[in-house]
């Protein structure tokens, strides 16, 4: 029987172990998509206890605790932090087969030097050990980032954001890690939302415009804000979508749809999709003009538990995988941009793993010499960032595309301790490649294999996103 999560955790063959220890483990982390709050980096937040840094905002853990029958007061409620932690310890101790078990214990090993097993019996020991460690100066927000060997972080930012905390970080020469904004214009796109008109007022103010009255005004405001984001170092966007739609409409139609919404009238589903198609196309063309990369996340059905959504709001663990996307529309969307030579570097993520094969065949239609793997199949995401999901995504990519050109893992987290997800991914990657070598499916040329691993772990993302790194 192997030891619990030892140095060769998840590495089943000798080639796998060589690739991980001699290549992947040595590479820094480039966090090109996360939901960390830049204010906490700017202020170098110190956490009072392990609950704050570990359970705050982590809907992965919240979902699991609910599945264990834990009362909401110990999850998002007003229970004391210690009681919340003890409830979590009781749950994680029996989380056999769940990636949360591995993630949590990697975090305990790497940041707290705890190599034991967290459960209800060890909760007090771990609580005391972690809190003592968090009291050290090295365990501030910046200290954790440094320990994780991170070179660059892209946060997720609305077009109305002042980016004041990014400016503060950039001006602070004592912190060497770059923290850049990423453009996330979902609120400007979601025309069906009840607060949409209020949001337009905020956007107009941010763009120094009197008002946004027409679709042309909206496009003007977006471009102004994009120029500001670019001045702050932004060169990557991200969209959270139901799916990538392509329902074209004329400019006159779009202005009529926009005016209808401005008059507080409900739109038909077709009108909504026409507007969103035009919105996404406009942004994509600007990304091409600005030389930004575009990320498209889709396949989510959000806020399914209405009662809980009304009590505690979005992003609290009540989203799920949506049905398979109408991927023919993705192909049409990419095609109209490619035909006009306006297709930016694009990363496609679907939360529904049933989309993997179809996505890969679509992406292969739009690759060209302007970039290695210009159109990327993004990392296994959210409900798929487990061993099975990661393997399936990489096998699909290898079968139908260029795995060696893959930009690799993203953190996609609100927690400063989540950088161990990169280690988890890299171990799975090395095991996959090493086992192919072990089975004679790829030559055991370790120089080439180590280069592939280093590229997927870090170098490809650095080149692909064109980040300002030495």
| pLDDT tier at 261, thresholds 50, 70, 90 | very high
Q: Backbone dihedral region of 300: left (phi > 0), alpha (psi from -120 to 50 degrees) or beta?
A: beta
| Cβ–Cβ < 8 Å for 155, 184 | no
Q: In the prediction, which pLDDT does 325 show? A: 82
> Measured between alpha carbons, how far is 217 from 40 in angstroms, rounded to an integer?
34
404-437 pLDDT, tens digit each: 999 999 999 889 999 999 999 999 999 999 999 9
For 348, other C-beta atoms within 10 Å of its C-beta total 22
386-409 pLDDT, tens digit each: 999 999 999 999 999 999 999 999
* Predicted confidence (pLDDT) at residue 470 exceeds the cutoff of 80: no
> Helix or strand or coil: residue 266?
coil
Q: In the prediction, which pLDDT does 323 show? A: 84
* Predicted confidence (pLDDT) at residue 324 exceeds the cutoff of 90: no
- Give the max Cα distance, the chain: 69
* Predicted confidence (pLDDT) at residue 257 exceeds the cutoff of 80: yes
In Å, what is the CA distance from 442 to each residue of 143, 157, 408, 445? 40, 42, 20, 8
- Calculate mean pLDDT across residues 46-73: 95
* Predicted confidence (pLDDT) at residue 56 exceeds the cutoff of 90: no
- Calculate mean pLDDT across residues 301-323: 93
- Calculate mean pLDDT across residues 116-132: 98
Closest CA to 272 of 261, 285, 283, 262: 261
Dump the DSSP string for 122-150.
THHHHHHHHHHHHTSGGGSHHHHHHHTTE
| pLDDT tier at 9, thresholds 50, 70, 90 | very high
| pLDDT tier at 116, thresholds 50, 70, 90 | very high
209-253 pLDDT, tens digit each: 999 999 999 999 999 999 999 999 999 999 999 999 999 999 999
> Measured between alpha carbons, how far is 301 from 154 in angstroms, rounded to an integer?
25
Q: In the prediction, which pLDDT does 273 show? A: 98
Q: Which residues contact 467 (CB under 8 A, 6 or more apart)?
A: 30, 32, 152, 178, 180, 235, 461
In Å, what is the CA distance from 164 to each residue of 234, 411, 469? 14, 23, 22
Q: Which residues contact 441 (CB under 8 A, 6 or more apart)?
A: none
Q: In the prediction, which pLDDT does 57 show? A: 85
Strand boundaries in 275-318, DSSP class E:
293-298, 300-301
What is the residue-averaged pLDDT of the chain? Answer: 96
Dump the DSSP string for 387-420.
HHHHHHHHHHHHHHS-GGG--------S-TTTTH
Q: Is the pTM of this model over 0.85?
A: yes
């Amino acid at each position: 029987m192997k030891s619990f999560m030892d140095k060769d955790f998840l590495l089943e063959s000798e080639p796998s172990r060589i690739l991980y220890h001699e290549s992947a483990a040595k590479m820094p982390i480039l966090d090109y998509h996360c939901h960390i709050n830049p204010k906490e980096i700017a202020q170098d937040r110190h956490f009072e206890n392990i609950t704050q840094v570990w359970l705050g905002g982590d809907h992965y853990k919240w979902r699991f605790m609910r599945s264990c029958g834990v009362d909401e007061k110990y999850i998002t409620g007003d229970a004391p932090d210690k009681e919340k932690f003890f409830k979590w310890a009781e749950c994680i101790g029996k989380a056999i087969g769940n990636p949360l078990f591995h993630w949590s214990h990697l975090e305990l090993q790497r940041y707290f030097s705890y190599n034991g097993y967290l459960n209800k019996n060890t909760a007090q020991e771990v609580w005391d050990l972690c809190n003592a460690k968090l009291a050290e100066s090295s365990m501030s927000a910046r200290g954790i980032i440094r320990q994780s060997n991170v070179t660059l972080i892209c946060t997720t930012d609305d077009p109305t954001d002042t980016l004041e905390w990014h400016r503060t970080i950039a001006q602070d020469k004592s912190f060497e890690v770059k923290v850049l904004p990423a453009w996330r214009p979902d609120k400007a796109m979601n025309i069906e939302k009840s607060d949409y008109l209020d949001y337009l007022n905020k956007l107009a103010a941010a763009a120094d415009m009197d008002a946004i009255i027409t679709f042309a005004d909206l496009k003007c405001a977006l471009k102004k804000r994009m120029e500001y984001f670019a001045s702050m170092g932004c060169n990557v966007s991200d969209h959270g979508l139901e799916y990538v739609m392509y329902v074209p409409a004329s400019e006159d139609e779009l202005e009529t749809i926009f005016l209808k919404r401005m008059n507080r009238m409900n739109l038909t589903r077709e009108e909504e999709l026409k507007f969103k198609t035009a919105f996404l196309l406009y942004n994509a063309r600007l990304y091409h003009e600005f030389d930004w990369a575009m990320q498209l996340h889709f396949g989510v059905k959000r806020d399914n538990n209405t009662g809980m959504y009304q009590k505690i709001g979005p992003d609290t663990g009540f989203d799920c995988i949506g049905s398979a996307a109408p991927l023919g529309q993705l192909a049409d969307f990419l095609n109209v941009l490619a035909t006009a030579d306006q297709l930016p570097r694009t990363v496609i993520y679907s939360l529904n793993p049933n989309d993997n094969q179809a996505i890969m065949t679509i992406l292969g239609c739009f690759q060209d010499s302007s970039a290695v793997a210009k159109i990327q199949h993004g990392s296994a995401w959210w409900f798929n960032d487990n061993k099975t999901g990661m393997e399936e995504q990489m096998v699909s990519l290898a079968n139908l595309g260029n795995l060696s050109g893959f930009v690799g893992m993203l953190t996609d987290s609100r927690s400063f301790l989540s950088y161990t997800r990169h280690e988890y991914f890299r171990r799975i990657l090395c095991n996959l490649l090493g086992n192919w070598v072990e089975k004679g499916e790829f030559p055991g040329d370790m120089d080439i294999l180590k280069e592939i691993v280093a590229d997927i772990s870090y170098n490809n993302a650095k080149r692909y996103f064109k980040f300002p790194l030495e």
